[in-house]
Amino acid sequence: MCCNGLKILVLFSFVIAAFLGNGFFPSLPVIAWYLILLNIFTFFLFIIDKYYSLHERKRVPEATLYFLSAAGGVYAECIAMVLLKHKIRKKSFLFIQVFILILWSIAIYEVIIHLENILQALKELTK
């Protein structure tokens, strides 16, 4: 992905796909659909980057990988790093990925801990 507009368009398409997925299978919340789809996309993009590195082709920019990781694809990117043994030796990339992973883990933990309060607030908003 070359520019920020394209990155935002891709994320917007994941949001639309998440709402469509929720329409077909409403038992899974929209945010879960978004994270699942984004993680799958990020995993395959990481595989493509590994393939390109082995065949000395133009690589996926690290800024794109950081962007997708920060947008929610961090778990797939970490799994891909371990499975493919790709970008593990690059300390700066690894440091940023660990930082993003910690931030996402804290955010998910906080949502789970306060889920009852969040649901109550949403219920009050819909009245």
Residue 88, CA distances (Å) to 31, 35, 52, 96, 120 in order: 29, 23, 16, 12, 42
Residues with Cβ within 8 Å of 59's Cβ and at least 6 positions away in sequence, in order, are 49, 52, 53
Q: What is the pLDDT of residues 27-42, one digit of tens each?
A: 888 888 999 999 999 9
The CA radius of gyration of the chain, in Å to the nearest whole number, is 17
Q: pLDDT per residue over 33-83, tens digit each?
A: 999 999 999 999 999 999 998 998 988 888 899 999 999 999 999 999 999
